[in-house]
């Protein structure tokens, strides 16, 4: 292919995964020299933000791992060849399994913002090892919302901001964090249109709040009181959608009673908001033709987060904001996405598992103990928990104490440095990849990106790594694969027949389905798409489960025909495929509670609401008078995906933002330094004085404080937020952390202090 051609791919820096077109060039033709939004992408339709132009920093990190690594006794690494690495990793993990049981082998990660095929292939390795417990970043953000949503709706919902007349963002700054398609276009349209209202709840005057019609500049952590007040006004002024509730909901009475009991004035006071403004906002929400709302980290990582998720969902239900254009919906997904209303417990702490995930905040204590069921080994794949989980120091100690830690990553991350083995992965541009974050409605899309570049000598795709591990563990043998390979050579129909008769009836083989597909169907696919093989299995599942939705998108016929046509389309259309077309009325069929109705009454949470309203004014520890929001999304943050600090065109040091009043009191100006101390740690930080902050509230960006090689040795830029957070600060229901609400103090830095 001509190196000057524009080639389709996707941005990997946030969950939107905008379609991109890139031009390769530079040394060896391996650099991304030009980038633009891909107009053919069905969801992003040409949109991309400033971060997409910095992807070459990902492809060319200086700390790329190019060969398997094994830790020596002195702590340093030596390189290994692949056969040795695979054999030793398989042997060590099998030994842990045989000695302590497979449940003692923990799996963390599976994909970052855009690479979810590794998690699909890892299911085979996990099954071969009998590994039961797992987690990923969702269990420190979304599990409270998932838990509540599944109890109320029996499903996870999303919202249609393009067609709403009232948009509500709760602890969410989509101008920078996106999470909704074409966020800035949508926000500007909302702001410009006098017939539509943009409501933002944020203690900071965020970039999104700046565009809002109503900015509720809540006191940090005050959201539960605000939502209680909004709900109470809806009930008192009878702005409740009675017809909708009669048709679709159950359990209204206890909710009405609880909300009637809320002292609106006291709740507004506690939220730090003007009662008249809260009442006006309730009126706007209650009279909306179509309300779309989104809660995110500002509330999900703060005190009362699960109660907030509940009150937020009550607001959606009480206003009838479900199942009509511009409101909330349940999307058709190609991949069964983590759901679950909290079945099962973690083995040591007995924490509730939501979507099968162990709360990130209990991980360290489930390793650092002498409980017989503690985790003894761990596979970390495409995640950096030593940086991203609360209390990094404690997590480092936990990871270091494991019998075996295996890390599968592209870079020598903070987590990889602690590993016994590092298995180097091909980058997301060096293999076929896909994101499972596809939540659009009524037309949902999926994007299988062909690889742009062959990997250099050394790294392998996760599909290949897991297939090799499976073989070494004896989970799949040649005798199983050969007839499937032979069938694949005779065409898709013969393959499907062989897969259905040989693999599907055998649970042991089904547990290895992903790597079997890769080893047998994969070789028949064009090389740049080979890792897409697992999608055939997912297409089969979607065709049998969502036949009508697929048919409306053009993939009709028998489930086998539909799956085949969809799989072929995914392979043939490198800018993405609309795979499901739905109707709004279907949302009601997707309410997954046993009686098919929305359950409003969750007694445990109503009780929590009662206790909240009865609780006295906020008490802050005098030793820690500030609230630190640890991990804000900014223009140049992208979790820890881009490790080279040179990628940032602004805010290079990741400044601590604080209000002008607090800066004046401390005698510090922008560019100055202060000491920031929490109960868990202390750091000297660069300051940015910002009128967007309210007094008493300070914020640090996420993704900083990474160790990165430079010509002069290793450098660390900015502060790693989780050196300052504590595992105990977590939600009582689902264990999500309070990263946005860390008690802190600031002190002037003594002259000469580092
Ligand atoms: N640029 C960029 N975009 C990203 C990412 C990235 O790293 N960088 N990461 C992606 C990921 S993984 C995620 S999960 C999303 C997260 O996206 P967001 O949740 O939007 O990100 P944050 O900036 O962490 O938090 C949002 C807002 O919460 C506010 N906040 C703080 N405390 C409170 C409070 O007590 N109450 C309320 N109501 N608000 C509060 C903050 O002021 C902030 O504006 O972003 C995604 N997009
Ligand atoms: N204090 C605080 N902590 C937070 C947050 C916060 O706001 N405050 N936010 C939390 C949130 S919402 C999230 S989502 C997490 C994110 O934290 P994590 O889930 O730990 O993930 P990332 O930082 O996105 O790291 C992704 C990893 O994948 C690697 N990688 C990239 N491409 C590939 C590939 O193709 N294959 C493999 N195998 N690896 C690859 C990268 O090198 C990197 O190590 O952080 C959480 N931690
Ligand atoms: S960072 Fe997110 S919004 Fe920006 S281009 Fe990448 S995927 Fe799209
Ligand atoms: Mo996230």
Q: Which residue has the higher pLDDT, 2 or 348?
A: 348
Please tell me the distance from the alpha carbon of residue 148 to that of residue 224, in angstroms, as a whole number: 15
Q: Is the pLDDT of residue 498 over 60?
A: yes
Q: How far is residue 583 from each of residues 121, 322, 442, measured CA to CA in Å?
A: 32, 13, 6
603-614 and 223-236 are packed helices; what angle lies between their axes, rounded to 10 degrees? 100
pLDDT in tens, 710-735: 999 999 999 999 999 999 999 999 99
Please tell me the distance from the alpha carbon of residue 379 to that of residue 438, in angstroms, as a whole number: 26
- Within a 13 Å sphere around the CA of 388, how many CA atoms are in the beta-carbon half? 24
Residue 302 near residue 221, CB atoms below 8 Å: yes
Which two tokens mark 331?
């999307």
Residue 255 near residue 314, CB atoms below 8 Å: yes
Which two tokens mark 188?
């500007």
First to last CA, the chain: 52
Which two tokens mark 578?
């609309």
H-run or E-run covering 577:
strand 577-581
Q: What residue's CA is closest to ligand 2, atom 21?
A: 383
CA of 400 to the centre of ligand 2 (A): 19
Mean pLDDT on 274-290: 98
> Taking the domains of the chain in order of start, what are their residue ranges?
3-61+448-587, 69-140+340-424, 143-331, 620-748
pLDDT tier for residue 754 given thresholds of 50, 70 and 90: low
- Within a 13 Å sphere around the CA of 622, how many CA atoms are in the beta-carbon half? 0
- Of the candidates 50, 125, 227, 197, the residue with the CA atom closest to the CA atom of residue 613: 227
Q: Is the pLDDT of residue 4 over 70?
A: no
pLDDT in tens, 241-258: 999 999 999 999 999 999
CA of 132 to the centre of ligand 1 (A): 31
For every residue of 684-711, DSSP letters joined together read EEEEEE-TTSPTTEEEEESS--EEEEET
Atom of ligand 1 nearest to the CA of 49: 1
- Of the candidates 398, 397, 421, 400, the residue with the CA atom closest to the CA atom of residue 409: 421
The single residue listed with the structure tokens 């997904």 is 333
Please tell me the distance from the alpha carbon of residue 117 to that of residue 122, in angstroms, as a whole number: 9
Please tell me the distance from the alpha carbon of residue 277 to that of residue 601, in angstroms, as a whole number: 28
Q: Is the pLDDT of residue 342 over 90?
A: no
Residues facing residue 627 across a β-bridge: 697, 743
Atom of ligand 2 nearest to the CA of 388: 47
Q: How far is residue 598 from each of residues 245, 287, 288, 661, measured CA to CA in Å?
A: 8, 21, 20, 46
Please tell me the distance from the alpha carbon of residue 486 to that of residue 662, in angstroms, as a whole number: 71
Q: Which of the 8 DSSP states describes residue 647?
A: G
For every residue of 504-555, DSSP letters joined together read TT-HHHHTTHHHHHHHHTGGGS-GGGGGGGHHHHHHHHHHHHSHHHHHHTT-
Task: Give CA angle at 423 (420, 425), nearest 5°.
Answer: 150
pLDDT value at position 1?
47
- Within a 13 Å sphere around the CA of 128, how many CA atoms are in the beta-carbon half? 27
pLDDT in tens, 442-484: 999 999 999 999 999 999 999 999 999 999 999 999 999 999 9
Give domain 143-331's CATH number out of 3.40.228.10, 3.40.50.1820, 1.10.10.10, 3.10.200.10: 3.40.228.10
Mean pLDDT on 389-417: 98
Give domain 69-140+340-424's CATH number out of 3.40.50.620, 3.40.50.740, 3.90.650.10, 3.40.50.10490: 3.40.50.740
Q: To test ligand 2's pocket by mutation, which of 413, 426, 427, 702 has the most ligand atoms within 8 angstroms of CB? A: 702
How many residues does the structure list for the chain?
754
The verdict on domain 620-748 having CATH code 2.40.40.20 is yes
pLDDT in tens, 202-242: 999 999 999 999 999 999 999 999 999 999 999 999 999 99
pLDDT value at position 614?
87
Q: Which of the 8 DSSP states describes residue 740?
A: T
Residues with CB under 6 A from ligand 3: 11, 13-14, 16-18, 48-49, 51-52, 178
CA of 22 to the centre of ligand 3 (A): 14
Count other Cβ atoms within 10 Å, centred on residue 73.
5
pLDDT value at position 617?
77
3-state class (DSSP) for residue 746? strand
Q: Judging by DSSP bridges, how do beta strands 673-678 and 742-748 pair with one another?
A: antiparallel
Is 138 near ligand 2, meaning CB less than 6 Å away?
no
Q: Is the pLDDT of residue 80 over 80?
A: yes
Q: Is the pLDDT of residue 518 over 90?
A: yes
Please list the alpha-helical segments (H only) found in 319-461.
385-388, 392-400
From the CA of 174, the nearest ligand is 1
**Radius of gyration, CA atoms only, the chain:** 26
Residue 109 near residue 125, CB atoms below 8 Å: no
CA of 700 to the centre of ligand 1 (A): 11
3-state class (DSSP) for residue 373? coil
Count other Cβ atoms within 10 Å, centred on residue 305.
33
Q: Which residue has the higher pLDDT, 341 or 603?
A: 603
CA of 19 to the centre of ligand 3 (A): 9
Count other Cβ atoms within 10 Å, centred on residue 684.
14
Cα 730 to the center of its chain, rounded Å: 18
From the CA of 719, the nearest ligand is 2
This prediction has a pTM of 0.98
Q: To test ligand 3's pocket by mutation, which of 21, 32, 52, 576 has the most ligand atoms within 8 angstroms of CB? A: 52
Q: What residue's CA is closest to ligand 3, atom 7?
A: 17
Count other Cβ atoms within 10 Å, centred on residue 449.
29
Q: What residue's CA is closest to ligand 3, atom 4?
A: 49
How many helices and strands, by DSSP H and E, does the chain display? 27, 30
At CB < 8 A and 24+ separation, what contacts does 506-514 make? 509/476, 509/480, 511/123, 511/124, 511/127, 511/128, 511/475, 512/124, 512/127, 512/128, 512/470, 512/475, 512/476, 513/124, 513/537, 514/120, 514/121, 514/123, 514/124, 514/463, 514/466
Torsion-angle region of 102 (φ positive above 0: left; ψ -120 to 50: alpha; else: beta): alpha
pLDDT value at position 3?
47
Mean pLDDT of the chain: 96
pLDDT in tens, 613-672: 988 778 889 999 999 999 999 999 999 999 999 999 999 999 999 999 999 999 999 999
Mean pLDDT on 391-407: 98
H-run or E-run covering 254:
helix 252-260
Q: Is the pLDDT of residue 2 over 70?
A: no
pLDDT tier for residue 127 given thresholds of 50, 70 and 90: very high
pLDDT value at position 230?
98
Mean pLDDT on 115-120: 97
Residues facing residue 716 across a β-bridge: 707
3-state class (DSSP) for residue 485? helix
- Of the candidates 378, 348, 343, the residue with the CA atom closest to the CA atom of residue 362: 348
């Amino acid at each position: 292919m001509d190196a000057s051609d524009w080639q389709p791919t996707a941005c990997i820096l946030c969950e939107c995964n905008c379609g991109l077109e890139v031009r390769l060039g530079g040394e060896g033709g391996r650099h991304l020299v030009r980038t633009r939004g891909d107009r053919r992408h069905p969801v992003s339709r040409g949109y991309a933000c400033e971060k997409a132009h910095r992807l070459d920093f990902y492809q060319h990190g200086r700390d790329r791992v190019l060969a398997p690594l094994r830790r020596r006794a002195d702590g340093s690494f030596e390189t290994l060849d692949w056969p040795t690495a695979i054999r030793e990793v398989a042997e060590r993990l099998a030994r842990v399994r045989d000695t302590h049981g497979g449940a003692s082998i923990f799996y963390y990660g599976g994909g970052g913002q855009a690479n979810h095929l590794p998690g699909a292939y890892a299911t085979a390795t996990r099954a071969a090892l009998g590994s039961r417990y797992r987690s990923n970043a969702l269990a420190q953000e979304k599990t409270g919302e998932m838990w509540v949503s599944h109890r109320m709706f029996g499903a996870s919902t999303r919202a249609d901001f393009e067609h709403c007349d009232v948009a509500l963002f709760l602890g969410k700054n989509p101008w920078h964090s996106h999470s909704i398609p074409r966020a800035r276009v949508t926000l500007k349209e909302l702001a410009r249109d006098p017939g539509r209202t943009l409501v933002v709840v944020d203690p900071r005057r965020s970039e999104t709040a700046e565009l809002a019609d109503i900015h509720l500049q809540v006191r940090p952590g005050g959201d539960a009181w605000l939502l209680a007040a909004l709900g109470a006004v809806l009930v008192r002024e009878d702005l409740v959608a009675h017809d909708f509730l009669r048709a679709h909901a159950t359990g209204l009475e206890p909710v009405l009673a609880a909300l009637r009991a809320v002292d609106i004035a006291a709740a507004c006071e506690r939220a730090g908001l003007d009662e008249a403004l809260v009442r006006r906002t309730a009126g706007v929400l209650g009279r909306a033709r179509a309300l779309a709302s989104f809660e995110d980290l500002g509330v999900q990582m703060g005190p009362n987060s699960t109660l907030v998720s509940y009150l937020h969902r009550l607001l959606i239900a009480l206003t009838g904001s479900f199942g009509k254009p511009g409101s909330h919906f349940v999307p058709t997904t190609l991949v069964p996405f983590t759901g679950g209303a909290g079945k099962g417990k973690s083995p040591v702490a007995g924490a509730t598992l939501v979507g099968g995930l162990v709360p990130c905040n209990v991980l360290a204590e489930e390793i650092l103990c002498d409980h017989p069921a503690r985790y003894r080994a761990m596979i970390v794949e495409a995640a950096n928990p030593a940086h991203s989980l609360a209390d990094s120091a404690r997590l480092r100690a936990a990871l270091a104490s494991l019998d075996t830690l295996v890390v599968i990553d592209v870079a020598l991350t903070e987590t990889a440095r602690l590993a016994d083995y590092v298995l180097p992965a091909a980058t997301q541009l060096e293999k076929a990849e896909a994101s499972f974050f596809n939540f659009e409605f009524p037309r949902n899309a999926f994007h299988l990106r062909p690889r742009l570049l062959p990997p250099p000598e050394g790294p392998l795709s996760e599909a290949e790594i897991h297939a090799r591990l499976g073989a070494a563990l004896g989970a799949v043998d040649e005798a199983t694969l050969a007839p499937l390979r032979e069938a694949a050579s005779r065409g898709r129909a013969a393959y499907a027949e062989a897969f259905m008769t040989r693999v599907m009836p055998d649970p042991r083989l089904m547990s290895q389905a992903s790597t079997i597909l890769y080893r047998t169907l994969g070789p028949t696919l064009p090389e740049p798409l080979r890792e897409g093989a697992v999608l055939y299995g997912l297409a089969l599942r979607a065709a049998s489960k969502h036949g009508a939705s697929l048919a409306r998108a053009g993939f009709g016929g028998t489930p086998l025909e539909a799956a085949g046509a969809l799989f072929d389309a995914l392979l043939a259309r490198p800018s993405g495929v609309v795979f499901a077309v739905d109707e709004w009325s279907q949302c009601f069929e997707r309410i997954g509670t046993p009686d098919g109705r929305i359950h409003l009454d969750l007694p445990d949470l109503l009780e929590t609401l009662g206790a909240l309203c009865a609780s006295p004014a906020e008490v802050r520890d005098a030793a820690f008078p500030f609230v630190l929001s640890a991990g804000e999304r900014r223009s140049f943050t992208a979790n820890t995906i881009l490790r080279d600090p040179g990628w940032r065109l602004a805010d290079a040091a990741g400044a601590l933002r604080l209000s002008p009043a607090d800066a004046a009191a401390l005698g510090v100006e922008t560019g100055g330094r202060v000491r920031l101390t929490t109960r868990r740690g202390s750091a000297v930080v660069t300051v940015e004085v910002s009128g967007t902050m309210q007094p008493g509230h300070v914020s640090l960006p996420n993704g900083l404080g990474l160790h990165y090689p430079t010509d002069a040795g290793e450098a660390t830029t900015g502060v790693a937020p989780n050196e300052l957070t504590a595992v105990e600060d977590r939600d009582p229901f689902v264990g999500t952390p309070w990263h946005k609400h860390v008690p802190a103090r600031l002190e002037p830095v003594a002259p000469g202090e580092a």
